[in-house]
């Protein structure tokens, strides 16, 4: 089973509204890029969400879902029956596929939905729903609504 894991460890850079957390994908106990990977959580999830939503009506398409930091990405192949083959690509040095996962299109979007909701809860718990980080929280909440509507179509 594919899961997007987000941990409640927040990292922020002074004078920015960027919030990093530990984020990785767990597929049958394999962590990618790693169990301690830290990245720009909202931009990564938003890229993935928008790319997958944009590919809903496409058949036999290849999509790239990048992590922001480092040379890691998911190479996703979607077929006309909404099955996904996901290659976990490590682009450091010689590009290699570390693992291949299989899941459904809506299953993966549901994982993104759960991850965005968890990120919103982390922001709220850390009082980032107000003050300097309120725009990040508001964008996250809008993304949740958008994805929920898409999944309920």
DSSP string across 23-71:
EEEEETTEEES-TT-EEEHHHHHHHHHHHHHHTTT-SSEEEEEE-SSSS
Q: What is the pTM of this model?
A: 0.94
Cβ-contact 90, 96 below 8 angstroms:
yes
Give pLDDT, residue 123: 95
Residues of the chain with pLDDT > 90, as a percent, come to 85
Measure the CA–CA gap between 59 and 62, rounded to whole angstroms.
9
Give pLDDT, residue 14: 67
Domain that holds residue 44: 2-151
Structural domain count of the chain? 1
Residues of the chain with pLDDT > 70, as a percent, come to 99
What is the tens place of the pLDDT at every residue in 62-107?
Answer: 999 999 988 999 999 999 999 999 999 999 888 999 999 999 999 9
Cβ-contact 89, 97 below 8 angstroms:
yes
13-17 mean pLDDT:
74
35-42 mean pLDDT:
94
């Amino acid at each position: 089973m594919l899961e997007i894991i987000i941990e409640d460890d927040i990292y922020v850079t002074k004078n920015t509204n960027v919030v990093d957390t530990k984020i990785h994908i767990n597929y049958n106990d394999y962590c990618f890029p790693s169990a301690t990977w830290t990245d720009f959580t909202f931009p990564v999830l938003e890229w993935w969400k928008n790319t997958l939503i944009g590919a809903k009506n496409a058949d036999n398409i290849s999509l790239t879902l990048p992590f922001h930091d480092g040379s890691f990405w998911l190479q996703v192949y979607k077929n006309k029956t909404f099955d996904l083959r996901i290659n976990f690509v490590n682009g450091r040095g010689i590009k290699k596929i570390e693992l291949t996962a299989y899941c459904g299109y809506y299953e993966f979007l549901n994982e993104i939905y759960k991850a965005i909701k968890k990120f919103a809860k982390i922001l709220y718990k850390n009082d980032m729903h107000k003050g300097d980080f309120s725009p990040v929280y508001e964008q996250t909440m809008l993304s949740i609504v958008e994805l929920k509507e898409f999944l309920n179509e």
